[in-house]
Amino acid sequence: MAHLVAQLLPIAQQGGDLRQTLGQATPIIWLVAFAVIFYFLLIRPQRQQQKRHEAMLAALRPGDKVVTQGGLVGTITKTDEGPNALRLKLAPGVEVTVMRSHIATRLGEEGQ
C-alpha cells in the first residue's frame, strides 16, 4: 500500500489528471484484488480443512472405526504404538500398524 501511495503522490502533486493517476494504479489494484480473491477461495478453505483433519487425528481413540488413505477400513485397537502410529484391526486375527497421518476419515462422523 505504501508503494502505491509513493507512486501516486508525485503524480498528484504535479497536478496530473485524476484519470491518468488512476490509470497507472489500475494494474496494482487488480493484482491486490486477485490476491484477495485467491486467498478467500483457495488458501483459507484449505487451511480450515487441514485444521479439521488434524483435530480429528488428535481425537482418535481405541474403538473408533476409520478408513485409511489406502482404502482399508478398520477399528483402532491401540493408540500407544508410538507418537504417530495406531494399531488397526482389519479382520479377526489381522492387525496392522498404521501411521496416524495416513488415516483419511473416521466413520460415523457427520457427512459420512
Q: 48 with 16, same domain? A: yes
Selection from 51, 8, 48, 54 nearest residue 28 by Cα: 8
| Torsion sign (Cα): 105, 74, 57, 55 | positive
Q: What is the structure's pLDDT at 109?
A: 62
Q: 48 with 68, same domain? A: no
Count how many domains the chain has. Answer: 2
3-state SS, residue 50: helix
Whether the model pTM is above 0.75: no
Q: Are 24 and 7 in contact (CB under 8 A)?
A: yes
Query: 34-43, 50-59, 88-97, 102-111: lowest mean pLDDT where?
Result: 102-111
Check which CATH number belongs to the domain holding 75 and give it: 2.30.30
